[in-house]
Structures are given as structure tokens and as C-alpha cells.
Amino acid sequence: AGAAGSRRKSSGGPKKKKKKQQPEPWPEEISLNQYALVRTYLLKSITGIGYLAFTWSTVVLLGGFVTALGKKDFWSLTFISMMQAAGSVISSY
């Protein structure tokens, strides 16, 4: 009878949990998040521009426009293509 008397009576309904208030973020955290966001967008746009440069140089080199290029332009395009191809292979691992 002692154990039955020490039990709490249930209200029958689901128990409501109190929500904890989220603390205000520190100014350092806000600036760090903004820096990470800007850096991410910047790196994504640089990567996109790199892929466009690689595609353009490949089209120029393989598309028959080589005859219209000077020697310096040809080697510049070849260098751009090789660097972008190497970057694509390295970043995939």
C-alpha cells in the first residue's frame, strides 16, 4: 500500500515540454557565418568561371579555330586547358 500511495497521479493528457529559448548569437558568430557564406559563394562562382574557361578553350582548340590563333594565344589556351583539367581531376578526389 506504501508503493501505491507514492505514485503520482497522471493528468491523462500528454506532457507539454517547455521550449528553451535560444540565446542570442554572439557578434563574432554572426560575422563568422557571414564570412563563410561570402567565401562559399565566391568559391562557387570562381569554380563556375573556371569551368566556362575550360569549355571555351576546349572548343577553340578542338573546334578548328586554331588556325586563326597566333602562337602566343595557342599556348595560352593550351595552358589554361591543362590547368583547368588538372584542377578538375584533383578536386574530384
pLDDT tens readout for residues 12-24: 556 666 777 888 8
Domain that holds residue 59: 27-91
The answer to whether residue 16 is domain-embedded is: no
The answer to whether residue 66 is domain-embedded is: yes
In this predicted structure, the answer to whether residue 5 has a pLDDT above a threshold of 60 is: no
Is there a contact between 47 and 55 (Cβ–Cβ < 8 Å)? no
What pTM did the predictor assign?
A: 0.52
Give the integer Cα–Cα distance in Å for 93 and 64. Answer: 32
In this predicted structure, the answer to whether residue 39 has a pLDDT above a threshold of 90 is: yes
The answer to whether residue 62 is domain-embedded is: yes
In the chain, the N- to C-terminal Cα span, in Å, equals 69
Give the integer Cα–Cα distance in Å for 20 and 51. Answer: 46
Work out how many domains the chain is built from and give that number. Answer: 1
The answer to whether residue 45 is domain-embedded is: yes
Give the integer Cα–Cα distance in Å for 35 and 38. Answer: 5
pLDDT bin (cut points 50, 70, 90) of residue 38 is: very high
The answer to whether residue 9 is domain-embedded is: no
| Amino acid of residue 11 | S
